[in-house]
Amino acid sequence: MTTITVIGATGHIGQQLVPRLLAQGVKVRAVGRDAGRLQPLVEAGAEAWIGTVDSARSMAEAFRGADAAFAMIPPDYGHPQPAARAKAVAEALAAGAQVARVTHVVTLSSVGAHLPTGVGPVNGLRGLEERFNQVPGMNVLHLRAGYFMENLLNGIGVIEAMRVNGGALKADLPVAMITTGDIAGVAAARLTQRNFSGHGARELLGPRNYTHQEASLIIGEAIGMPGLGYVEFSYDDTRKALLTFGFSEASANEFIEMYDALNTGRMQPSQPRTALTTTPTTLEEFARTVFAVAYGE
């Protein structure tokens, strides 16, 4: 039976990827940091593996016997040195996969990872790509995803308190937005088919580009608040908010760098929108089925 290891199994993508893989009859080793959060995946049929993603030895054990793996850098926004942590995790994941002789790996990367510097946390994802590309004989596909629609859920508190949406990105900036479920769907197909070779990247751009002004109107319709507006927050106010939410100063600065890269047009997709880079779930559907439910809880 095919065995696939999933790093970050309890995250937005992992918790949707694992059931898709199980449904296709493969054995799934779900790797996470919290046994309690892994339990629902165990009940669904996965094998739980408590692993330390910055330890090559731990990751080699997590990958041992796997035919393929999904690799990502689990977020830790409170870390005082996020760039150093990202590098350490990338090293541990790639070294562990090499020791375990995994032949096919799908990584979670991001739009903008083709740029050498200046894109905040995406710099670490570029490092993840480069480190896996160094493993001899390994077939690697990097999924460079657009802006997660799930990130819009972070605006619920602002909407409830101020009856307006807001953020650091420009209101009229077109952004490729994608739901994490669609990313999980692509990852599941590639991991089970393993029909890729060498080193490659696939950008995933969602159904189309949306501005945050347009996204706010769509969200407003879904939650019974027609005409919901969007306010641009200054970088200073955004940084203060991130610190309040538990981000370290270095992580907050990384995100401000990424927002600025988007706002100034430096962080753009490197691949055109085609059938291969477009995914089906619209923001309208996400707003009705996910955002509205979360807003009502």
Show pLDDT as tens, one digit a residue, over the chain (297 residues): 899 999 999 999 999 999 999 999 999 999 999 999 999 999 999 999 998 999 999 999 999 999 999 999 999 999 999 999 999 999 999 999 999 999 999 999 999 999 999 999 999 999 999 999 999 999 999 999 999 999 999 999 999 999 999 999 999 999 999 999 999 999 999 999 999 999 999 999 999 999 999 999 999 999 999 999 999 999 999 999 999 999 999 999 999 999 999 999 999 999 999 999 999 999 999 999 999 999 998
pLDDT at 1: 84
CA 139 to chain centre: 21
Coil, strand or helix: which one is 156?
helix
For residue 295, the surrounding DSSP H or E stretch is helix 292-296
Residues 221, 199, single domain; the answer is no
Residues 199, 221, single domain; the answer is no
3-state per-residue secondary structure call for 33-67: CCHHHHHHHHHHCCEEEECCCCCHHHHHHHHCCCC
Other CB atoms within 10 A of residue 117 CB: 10
How is 158-176 classified by DSSP, letter by letter?
A: HHHHHSSEEESS-TT--EE
How is 192-247 classified by DSSP, letter by letter?
A: HH----SEEEEEE--SSEE-HHHHHHHHHHHTT-TT--EEEPPHHHHHHHHHHTT-
pLDDT at 297: 80
Closest CA to 177 of 130, 215, 221: 215
pLDDT at 208: 98
CATH number at residue 86: 3.40.50.720
Residue 153, domain member (yes or no): no
Residues 88, 9, single domain; the answer is yes
Q: Please give the tally of structural domains in the chain.
A: 2
Task: Please check whether residue 181 is in contact with residue 20, taking contact to mean a CB–CB distance below 8 angstroms.
Answer: no
Residues 63, 121, single domain; the answer is yes
Residue 78, domain member (yes or no): yes
User: Which DSSP category does 266 fall into?
Assistant: -
Distance CA 252, CA 224 (A): 32
Please give the structure tokens belonging to residue 168: 């650091």
User: Which DSSP category does 136 fall into?
Assistant: T
Residues 104, 61, single domain; the answer is yes
Residues 200, 233, single domain; the answer is no
Residues 15, 40, single domain; the answer is yes
Range of the domain at 130: 3-146+179-204
Residues 12, 125, single domain; the answer is yes
Residues 56, 99, single domain; the answer is yes
Distance CA 211, CA 177 (A): 9
Coil, strand or helix: which one is 133?
helix
pLDDT at 51: 87
Residues 184, 249, single domain; the answer is no
Amino acid letter for position 145: A
Residues 15, 95, single domain; the answer is yes
In the sheet with 147-148, reading across from the earlier edge strand, the strands are 147-148, 175-178, 209-210
